[in-house]
Structure 1
């Protein structure tokens, strides 16, 4: 790859870095797997950068690579969601919003219990801030199918969270 293409890749990656990290964290369920997935994604993206047809779709393309790599990882092992006691202690004692922050962890755990495509659509939409069209390109199928997965996923999460008395506040913030 030429130095100018390497620089262009780095420029595009820097604008998508935060989204990639948040997305990897959301779909893996723990920090260590998220770091591994992000590194693998960057490597595959760099090696295949010349195959990208339109740079406007770099972020979607990058997250698509992460999705595919994560699917391969899940085939090899069952996913494990880990929350350390230290993380929970910090959240509980950090400020008055700690209940909401802990509920975000609960929402995340519940998202991971949904069907994989539904969880993926919710994460792409709410955490990675992708448009419905971008999610459609990543997941395939129809645009109405993406909308339906997001709608049903939200409904299922709301149903699960209604079991907790103070979750309504979190649900209204998240959705």
Structure 2
């Protein structure tokens, strides 16, 4: 407040005490009803001392000694301690879990669901691999059988060719034309 130095000692004491009470009253109201959107809340005792808001009737306290608990009368020390406590409460109330971080339980549940999904996928792939392996064995067995049958047929064909080319002792006679 301007002109604070012109106040007498008793008036200065009353001014500081009434200012502390006014600031604490606003902080108590914020604690009970919530902090209005855009309202300023001091985050430290220095910010508390320097806090001023004409519409709320709050004025700045110039001297850091005005909030010194050790050198204050018991009634003022009580107001200062209350202010400190209110600031801590309001700061704690404004802290919310970060939206980008999920609780550990939620992350654990998500991970467990993903593990179950991957296990089902692995079991399905294992079944598919087993089926493909069986199909491959049958195809290889079928190919081997066809190769064996082909070799047998080739041998039989070669034998038949040889038998056709061998003289059998029979002769073919051609019929003569009647003159």
How would you bin the TM-score normalised by the shorter chain? under 0.3
Indicate the structure (1 or 2) with the bigger Cα radius of gyration.
2
Structure having the higher helix fraction is: 1
RCO higher in structure (CA 8 A, sep ≥6): 1
**TM-score, normalising length: structure 2:** 0.23
> What TM-score do the two structures reach when normalised by structure 1?
0.24
